[in-house]
Amino acid sequence: MRRLATTLEDWQSTLSDVAATGARLLALWTERAPAAVHAAFLCDGAALVVDLELDYGEMTYPGLSDLFPAATRMQRAAADLTGVSALDADTRPWLRHSAWPREYKPLAPRSIDYAGDGVPPPDDYAFVRVSGDGVHEIPVGPVHAGIIEPGHFRFSIVGEKVLKLEERLGYAHKGIERLFARTKLDEGHRLAARVSGDSAVAFSWAYCQALEGLARCEVPERAVWLRALALEAERIANHLGDLGALGNDAGFAFGLAQFSRLKELWLRALDAAVAQRYLNDFIVPGGVARDARDDLLKRLSDAARTIGNEAATLRSIYDEHAGVSDRFVGAGAVAPDLAARLGLIGLAGRASGQALDLRVDLPCAPYSELEPAKSGRDEGDVAARVEVRFDELTESLRLVREIVERLPPGELWAELPQVEEGARGIGLVEGWRGPVLVALTAGPDGYVRRCHPHDPSWQNWPVLEHAIIGNIVPDFPLINKSFNLSYSGHDL
C-alpha cells in the first residue's frame, strides 16, 4: 500500500491525475480532530491512499463525485458522521434519518456530544421527482416482507416500465464506526465480522490484515492457508444460496430446493472440519482461532467435489430452461462503459466487463501460490451475473480442494507486538461480493482511534438504479437479487 499526502490547493489536481490513470475508487472516509479526508484507490496494480488534512477550523473540501461518481453517497455518509463535507455536493442526509439532531455528528469530539434527549424533527427528504403524462410513483419499503434489513425504493414508472429508481438506505443505523472507537485493537475483529454477516470472514480478515500491518506481525503459514479456506468457504455458501434464490425469483422453485440442499451439505461439512457452520470470529489477530481437523478435511474436500458435480448439472438445467432464460437474459443490463464510469466493482463488475479480482490482481498470501482463475462476462445482465456466480463457485470449490491438499503444518497464531499510537494501516480482501477494505488508526492504550470498514455495496447500490431503467417493475426483485448488495454493510 502507498500513501500520498496532499494539500487543499493540490487536492483536485492530484485526484485528476489519479483518475487519469484509470484508477478505481475503493473507499472514502473522513475524520475529526484533526479534520481530514482519506480516499483509497486501486491504482496501477497497487492500493493508494490519498490523505488530505484540513487546516484548523476548516470543515469542507472539494468533492470527488465529478471524477468518481461512486463517491457521492460516501461523501454524504461522511458528512453525517463527522461534519466534514464536500463542496458543491448532494447535501441530503444519508445515514441520519432524523435519528439525531442535524447538528450532532457521531464521530465528532465528545465536547459536542448528543445526550439523546428529545425527538428530532422528521426530515423532509427531497426525492427526485419525475413528471410527465402517465408517470406515477410506487414507493416500496423501507419495511419489507421477510427478514431483510430496511431500504426504501422509489420507482417512477409509465405503465410497468421503470423510468427512474431512487434508493434511500441506512435506516438501521448501528453506529459501527463509533463502536470501533470504544474497542480495543485486539478485539476489533469481532466487530468487523459483524459489519455484514454474509461477509464475516472478509471483514475480519481485512481488519486483522490492517492491524497486523501496524504491528508488523508475521502470521504463521498454516493460519494464512486456513484463512483462505475460510474465505472460499464463505464465497461458496453465498453463491449456493444466491443461485437458488435467483432460480426462485425466476419462478423456478426447483433451483431453490436443490441449491438449498447443496448449501446445507456444504455447511455441515464445514462444521465437521472447523467446528463452525458460519465462520464469525474464526480469523483473529495474528492467525486463526482454531485448527481444522485433518481427518475431517477430506470430508470437506469430498463435499466440494460432490457439490461441484451437482452444480454443473444444475447449471446446464438453468441454461436449457426456456422460462429461466427468458427471465435472465437481457434483464437489468449494465453495459461495460457505464459500469466503468459508475465504478461498478466486484462480482457484478466482472459480469459487466470490469475484470478486477484482488485474489488475482493484488493477491495476498496464499493466493499468489494458488493462482485462482478470474471469471468475467461483458453482457452485464442477470444472466451474466449468474454465469459469473457459477464460474466462481466452481473455482472456489477447486481452491478448497487444493488448500486441503496443500495445507502446511505449523502454528495457528503469532503474538502481536505493541502498536504505536497514531499508526495507520489498510486491510484489503476480495470478499464474495467484491473488495472489502478496512482502514485502521491506532489510538492510546491499545484502543482503536478510527476504523472505517467499507463494503463494495457502496459502489454498487447506485448502479442498481441504472440497471432497472427500462425494465418492468416485476423484474426488480430478480435484478436486485442478481446484485445481492448489503444493507448492513452500507449502514455504519
Q: What is the mean pLDDT of the chain?
A: 94
User: What integer pLDDT is reported at residue 111 of this predicted model?
Assistant: 42
d(CA 275, CA 291): 9
d(CA 391, CA 256): 18
Question: Mean pLDDT throughout 227-233?
Answer: 98
The closest alpha carbon to 428, from 225, 206, 260, belongs to 206
User: What integer pLDDT is reported at residue 490 of this predicted model?
Assistant: 84
The closest alpha carbon to 324, from 429, 215, 384, 251, belongs to 251
User: What integer pLDDT is reported at residue 438 of this predicted model?
Assistant: 98
Chain centroid to CA 291: 27
Domains of the chain as residue ranges with CATH: 2-112 (3.30.460.80), 127-172+457-492 (3.30.390), 218-414 (1.10.645.10)
**8 Å CB contact between 39 and 50:** yes
Question: Mean pLDDT throughout 144-167?
Answer: 91
d(CA 43, CA 243): 32
Residue type, 482: S
For 251, the grid coordinates are: 419462478
User: What integer pLDDT is reported at residue 1 of this predicted model?
Assistant: 79
Q: Work out the pLDDT band at 110, boundaries 50, 70, 90.
A: low
Percent share of the chain, pLDDT over 70: 97
| pTM of the complete model | 0.96
Q: Work out the pLDDT band at 153, boundaries 50, 70, 90.
A: very high
User: What integer pLDDT is reported at residue 472 of this predicted model?
Assistant: 96
**From the DSSP assignment, how many helices (H) and strands (E) are in the chain?**
16, 14
Q: Which of 1-5, 69-73, 378-382, 478-482 has the lowest mean pLDDT?
A: 1-5
Question: Mean pLDDT throughout 410-425?
Answer: 95
Please report how the helices 457-467 and 71-82 are oriented relative to each other, as an axis angle in degrees rounded to 10: 130
- The set of residues, in sequence order, having a beta carbon less than 8 Å from that of 252 and lying 6+ positions away, is 318, 321, 323, 324
Sort residue 402 into left (φ over 0), alpha (ψ -120 to 50) or beta: alpha
Please report how the helices 457-467 and 476-483 are oriented relative to each other, as an axis angle in degrees rounded to 10: 150
Question: Mean pLDDT throughout 412-422?
Answer: 94
Question: Mean pLDDT throughout 265-271?
Answer: 97
Alpha carbon dihedral 387, 390, 395, 399, in 10-degree steps, equals 150
pLDDT, tens digit (0-9, with 9 covering 90-100), for 422-472 = 999 999 999 999 999 999 999 999 999 999 999 999 999 999 999 999 999
Whether 121 shows a pLDDT value over 80: the answer reads: no
pLDDT, tens digit (0-9, with 9 covering 90-100), for 309-323 = 999 999 999 999 999
User: What integer pLDDT is reported at residue 44 of this predicted model?
Assistant: 84
How many angstroms separate the Cα of 373 from the Cα of each of 54, 300, 359, 412, 437? Answer: 43, 21, 9, 28, 22
